[in-house]
Structure 1
Amino acid sequence: NIKSEPLLLLIKQFIQDEALMEQFRRAPAAAQLHHAYLGGLLEHTLNVLELALLVIPRYPRVSLDLVLAGTFLHDIGKTAELTYDTSFGYTDSGQLVGHITLAAVWIQEKAKQAEAETGQPIPKELLAMLQHVVLSHHGSHEFGSPKLPAFPEAIAVHYLDNIDAKLHLYLREIDADPDEQSHWTQFQRSLDTRIYKVRLQDAADNKK
Structure 2
Amino acid sequence: MGDEWIIKVCDKNGIDTDKQSIVLLRHCLLAHHGKLEYGSPVLARIPEAAALHSIDELDATMMTYEKNYADMEPGSMSKRIFNLDNQMVFKTNDEDVDLD
If the TM-score is normalised by the length of the shorter chain, which range does it land in? 0.7 to 0.9
The two structures have a TM-score, normalised by structure 2, of 0.80
| Higher relative contact order (CA closer than 8 Å, sequence separation 6+) | 1
Residue type matched to 1:106 in 2?
Answer: W
Specify the alignment match of 1:186 in structure 2: 79
Structure 1 167/137 Cα, relative in aligned 2: closer, same or farther at 3 Å? Answer: same
Q: Percent sequence identity over matched residues?
A: 29
Structure 1 181/196 Cα, relative in aligned 2: closer, same or farther at 3 Å? Answer: closer
- Residues 1-208 of structure 1: pairs in structure 2 closer than 5 A: 102-115=1-14, 121=16, 123-177=18-72, 180=73, 183-192=76-85, 193-198=87-92, 201-204=94-97
Once the 2 structures are TM-superposed, how far is the Cα of residue 184 of structure 1 from its aligned partner?
Answer: 0.8
Once the 2 structures are TM-superposed, how far is the Cα of residue 134 of structure 1 from its aligned partner?
Answer: 0.5
The two structures have a TM-score, normalised by structure 1, of 0.42
Residue type matched to 1:145 in 2?
Answer: S
Aligned length: 97
Coordinate RMSD, CA, aligned: 2.2
Once the 2 structures are TM-superposed, how far is the Cα of residue 182 of structure 1 from its aligned partner?
Answer: 5.5
Once the 2 structures are TM-superposed, how far is the Cα of residue 167 of structure 1 from its aligned partner?
Answer: 0.6
- Kept after mapping to 1: 8 A contact 2:17/2:23: no
Once the 2 structures are TM-superposed, how far is the Cα of residue 160 of structure 1 from its aligned partner?
Answer: 1.7
| 1:10-43 Cα distance to aligned partner (Å, 9 max, x none) | xxxxxxxxxxxxxxxxxxxxxxxxxxxxxxxxxx
